[in-house]
Structure 1
Amino acid sequence: MSRALFLLPAWSTFGRQSLMAEVAKAFGRADRVADRAVGGEAQLRRHFSTLPAHWAPAALTRQADAGDAAGAAWLRADPAHVRPDINGARLLGLGERLSLSQDDVDSLLPALKPVFGDSGFALDAPVPTRWYLRLPREAKLPAFSAPDEALGEDLFEHQPEGPEGRRWRALLNEVQIVLHNHPWNARRAERGLVPINALWVWGGGVLPDAVSSAVSSAASDDDLVRALATVAGVAATRLPSAFEIGADAALYDLRRTRDLAALQRDWLMPALRALSDGTLTTLDIDAADGMRLRLARGQRWRFWRGAWVPPQPPSEQGA
């Protein structure tokens, strides 16, 4: 027997998609855990603890990728595609979404290194989809938006602010000019690929002294989740196509799911069947909007409880 934890996106992500009657009934009979802080970072902090308690995604993924994150501050500087529009520009893709290869790294990195080197920062790319800036440990950094917060949005709303922010805006503008003029992007266009015309800087900080977790395995397509697990000494894998019983206290990161029907078919219904036959002892649901449920086999006798109704999207509340 084992326990499972599903990380889900905010329920509003699913819009008007409907829950199956069996799933709504099971959720209605579940134990409700008090709502907690919202957002993806808050979700991960509930299940991975860092010491000290600062949040440094770049240092964590760097440690998992290269093992050399200690002793410096780090920023992710991921290759990105930005598209101008009538109101400004929008971030439309970065990292794994851009079909990056080592050829991209070998062609673009030499042109970009001097831009950052003049400021005392070292740029490298141990993985084609994840590029890094190494900074002095004491470097002061403005707040940068995580990619999930900025994807598809107007970049003006995600500019770093303050005196340090102005410095970084100038630096990243210079990067965009270099990339815009680089002949490699014409080669990418010939292969039907979008240009790499920006770097998205985010996740700054130093490597925590320790990372711990109550989960024993983590399955995710998010490199940060896998990095947290790796640094914590927890087994880390890619997300399978459907639910399968794993180690006790297994975490499954489903936050990128947008199709509620597929989520129910491939994950929730198989997990409910495993609860019914006793293969699974508990199933924890943790959504990015703070909604948390705990399901267990004995709850099937709670006949008096009605079906669970997902929170309404903000635009529909009070309608």
Structure 2
Amino acid sequence: MHLHLVLPGLLWPGAQTADPAAGLALPALERLLGHARVRAAAASSAEHWLLRHFGLDPQAVSAAALRRLGEELPAGRADAGWLCADPVNLRFAREHLILADAATLAITAEEAAALVATLNETFADIGRFEAPTPERWYLLPNTPAQARFVPLAEAVGRPVARCLPEGEDARDWQRLANEAQVVLHNHPVNRAREDAGQPLVNSLWLWGNGTAPEGARAPLAVVQAATPETRGLVRAAGVEPQAPAPLLTAPTLTVLETLARPALHLDLDGWRNALVALERDWCAPLLEALRAGRLKTLQISAPGERATLELGVAARDLWKFWQRPRSLDALHKTLP
């Protein structure tokens, strides 16, 4: 049996943080790291790494179409044309306007429905908005966008002025974003949030346009995934994704993204908690499966902004008694 485990966020992105995993009891992970063949490849976002491994061009395919295909919606197609129109908060920090995504906003389903209804009334000539979840919104424009947008993950915590759309109709989309800010800022939902001391849902982040994801191919017949982005990618390859679980019945690709969000937001406590859960729920069971021979080979890929870590360990490697456990912090110190 073979498992390819993809762990975006395993590498803590802040190189200035010394020993981010210090003090954590991670014996199974350290044993796996100690016995694995380790290679550090070029840095990559998890999204681009996955698209390439499914045979798609990260610079061309529509992330919005893939993510919407992965939502818990009635079955549909991964059509091009969709944009992600995610709710965000913009605030001034010193002289810059900084973006915070919906993960920090605690938007309720009722708030999202009210805000999207007003957007549809106000911008009916632009297209149709929808909100399958309070955190993830979409726009199907009447005229497909010809701009190049910055993905939300690359804009979080960064000055917005450096992340504006570019291209043929970029000014039109920036104008829509500005007009949407006015509508959202004056909405009763945001007046109530302001009275309650909550951050405002005061802007939309448009991104994710591109070509239809045609020709996607799953690397393995069984794929486990939990987030809508990855579930949509798997469905585009003609495979129905399964929920992540360390109990395998066939060679499996598992994309486990529990570390990705705290790493993106530089939430060190959240990342450490997710690392403890990874040790308990995955590393310890997989190490035992290797020892018992139920799992023959384990491959781990950890794409990140510092490097992409590639590790391989086989059941027979555990007999190499001279190889000692290796801490994650020690591994961090070998990276640029």
Q: Report the CA distance shift for 1:208/1:163 in structure 2 as closer, same or farther (over 3 A).
A: closer
Q: Deviations over 1:160-212 (max 9, x none)?
A: 23453332222211111111111121234566643211111111123222422
Give the aligned CA root-mean-square deviation in angstroms.
3.2
Aligned to 2:256: 253
1:148 to 150, 153, 156: 153
Q: Which amino acid aligns with 1:130?
A: R
Normalized against structure 1, the TM-score is what? 0.81
In the aligned structure 1, how far is the partner of 2:287 from the partner of 2:90?
A: 42
Q: Deviations over 1:90-143 (max 9, x none)?
A: 22222x55333442243212322355444x43323344432212236764122x
CA contact (8 A) 2:51 2:57 kept: no
Q: Deviations over 1:28-63 (max 9, x none)?
A: 432345725522123212442348983211011223
Q: Which amino acid aligns with 2:86?
A: D
Aligned to 2:49: 43
In the aligned structure 1, how far is the partner of 2:211 from the partner of 2:48?
A: 19
In the aligned structure 1, how far is the partner of 2:107 from the partner of 2:154?
A: 22
Provide the secondary structure at the position in 1 that maps to 2:297. strand
Displacement, 1:25?
A: 4.5
In the aligned structure 2, how far is the partner of 1:223 from the partner of 1:10?
A: 20
Which region of structure 1 is more displaced relative to structure 2, 186-195 or 207-216?
186-195
Aligned to 1:92: 100
Provide the secondary structure at the position in 2 that maps to 1:291. strand
What percent of counterpart residues are identical?
31
In the aligned structure 2, how far is the partner of 1:140 from the partner of 1:106?
A: 28
In the aligned structure 1, how far is the partner of 2:253 from the partner of 2:302?
A: 16
1:301 to 319, 330, 333: 319
User: What is the aligned length?
Assistant: 308
Q: Report the CA distance shift for 1:10/1:134 in structure 2 as closer, same or farther (over 3 A).
A: same
CA contact (8 A) 1:219 1:251 kept: yes
Structure 1: gaps spanning 5 or more residues: none
In the aligned structure 2, how far is the partner of 1:162 from the partner of 1:290?
A: 30
CA contact (8 A) 1:64 1:231 kept: no
Normalized against structure 2, the TM-score is what? 0.78
CA contact (8 A) 1:50 1:210 kept: yes
2:172 to 131, 152, 167: 167
Q: Report the CA distance shift for 1:139/1:277 in structure 2 as closer, same or farther (over 3 A).
A: same
Structure 2: gaps spanning 5 or more residues: 263-270
Provide the secondary structure at the position in 1 that maps to 2:44. coil
Displacement, 1:237?
A: 4.8
Q: Report the CA distance shift for 1:276/1:235 in structure 2 as closer, same or farther (over 3 A).
A: farther
Displacement, 1:292?
A: 0.4
After superposition, residues 117-196 of structure 1 pair within 5 angstroms as 117-118=124-125, 120-135=126-141, 139-142=145-148, 144-189=149-194, 193-196=198-201
Which region of structure 1 is more displaced relative to structure 2, 132-141 or 18-27?
18-27
Task: Say whether 1:81 aligns with 2:99.
Answer: no
Q: Deviations over 1:220-249 (max 9, x none)?
A: 2x220121123323343555xxx6313421
In the aligned structure 1, how far is the partner of 2:2 from the partner of 2:31?
A: 22
In the aligned structure 2, how far is the partner of 1:53 from the partner of 1:43?
A: 12
Q: Which amino acid aligns with 2:256?
A: D
Q: Which amino acid aligns with 1:9?
A: G
Q: Which amino acid aligns with 1:100?
A: I
